[in-house]
Amino acid sequence: MPQGPRDRGPDPRTLRTRAAVAEAATTLFLRNGYQDTGVDEIAALAGVSKRSIYNNFADKQTLFTELVLGFTSTAGHFADELVGGLTEAEDLPAALHDLGRRHLRTVARPEVLRLRRLIIVEAARFPDLAAEYYRRAPGRVIAALTESFAELHRRGALTAADPGRAAQHFSYLVLGSTLDTFLFDPEGALPSPAELDRLADDAVTAFLAAYRA
């Protein structure tokens, strides 16, 4: 019996075009912001026609939305991996120090910090997008921490009657100073890896002083 044509999947040329546009748009949005980035500039940097961008992304707003949410595509896995095993740790203080260091190292990267700053700047223009980014990325980490701290409180390993507040305290103690510094001085140098570890360790020490059972 004759068979129809096989489904060969997406056209490789389309995938290459979308990848080139996404890379160019990410570079320009993070450098210039949403308002000061034009479709013509994106097309020129990507080496494609303006029509190709509209064929693949409809308009600049759609492209911006897809890029922002694309950064969160692995956030759920990251959050689970970041916090995973915490409730089973034999040495909870050591596990929390390790968690704090990994969390700060992951967030204190130029592309991540620039994206966060861009979303804050554009939150009034794209409130739903900003809320969804928070839910999928920082909010997902807070949720994972809350779940773990609730279990550790139940076991008596932490004194965290309000695990959600404890999760907020942990996250902001670890990240807060670095995020604030970059927000107000985006061209400033980030701390060295060793300094990031010291910042995280000091934050976790303060957290344990308040919440250790």
For 173-210, write each residue's pLDDT tens digit: 999 999 999 988 888 889 999 999 999 999 999 999 99
Residue 149 inside a domain? The answer is yes
211 pLDDT more than 90: yes
Residue 52 and residue 126: Cα distance in Å, rounded? 24
Specify the CATH number for the domain of residue 39. 1.10.10.60
Give pTM, 2 decimals: 0.82
Digit-coded pLDDT (tens) for 141-170: 999 999 999 999 999 999 999 999 999 999
Tell me: do 54 and 80 sit in the same domain. no
The confidence score (pLDDT) of residue 82 equals 78
Tell me: do 191 and 204 sit in the same domain. yes
Tell me: do 61 and 80 sit in the same domain. no
* Residue 108 and residue 190 in contact, taking contact as beta carbons nearer than 8 Å: yes
Tell me: do 33 and 123 sit in the same domain. no
User: 170-192 burial by CB neighbour count: b if 16+ within 10 A, else e?
Assistant: bbebbbeebbebbeeeeeeeebe
Residue 5 inside a domain? The answer is no
**What residues make up the domain containing 17?**
12-67
